[in-house]
Structure 1
């Protein structure tokens, strides 16, 4: 299974929706709370040039926001 990493914030509705969606599908993920971890926020901005959440990393692919069909495609895509 592909490694999934989510940069999120507790008050972000899309962040909570994507995590609930992955939980329902049984997909494990690493959740990084950028509100608590300022270094993670800096890394997200520096590495990906993105300042909003959620940022979902699947393998080497990056997705911003929550879109279930697109997320499914990324989860099932061949590397």
Structure 2
């Protein structure tokens, strides 16, 4: 089984970001947070990678290969995680 890393790009005061983090915690999934609150250069990175500047963005992957969930709403994250689970992938 492959262990994947989860990274949440978020900002302070973002209700969608809070929902994503709460969901991951409820599911027992460890994650790293990148706080873009006072870091426009981090938003620049999101724009280059995915063509967006908003958060939350959830990256799931390993090494330098990550898939991003950029749609707002926990249901999109649930769907992506379920797909990985069905493929036998384990989250670290």
Would you say same fold, with TM above 0.5? Answer: yes
Equivalent residue, structure 1, for 2:28: 26
Point out where structure 2 has 5 or more consecutive residues left out of the alignment: none
User: Rg bigger for which structure?
Assistant: 2
8 Å CA contact 1:6, 1:57 repeated in 2: yes
The secondary structure found in structure 1 opposite 2:19 is helix
Larger strand proportion of the pair: 2
Across the two proteins, how many residue pairs are aligned to each other? 78
Q: TM-score, normalised by structure 2?
A: 0.72
Q: Indicate the RMSD between aligned Cα atoms, in angstroms.
A: 1.7
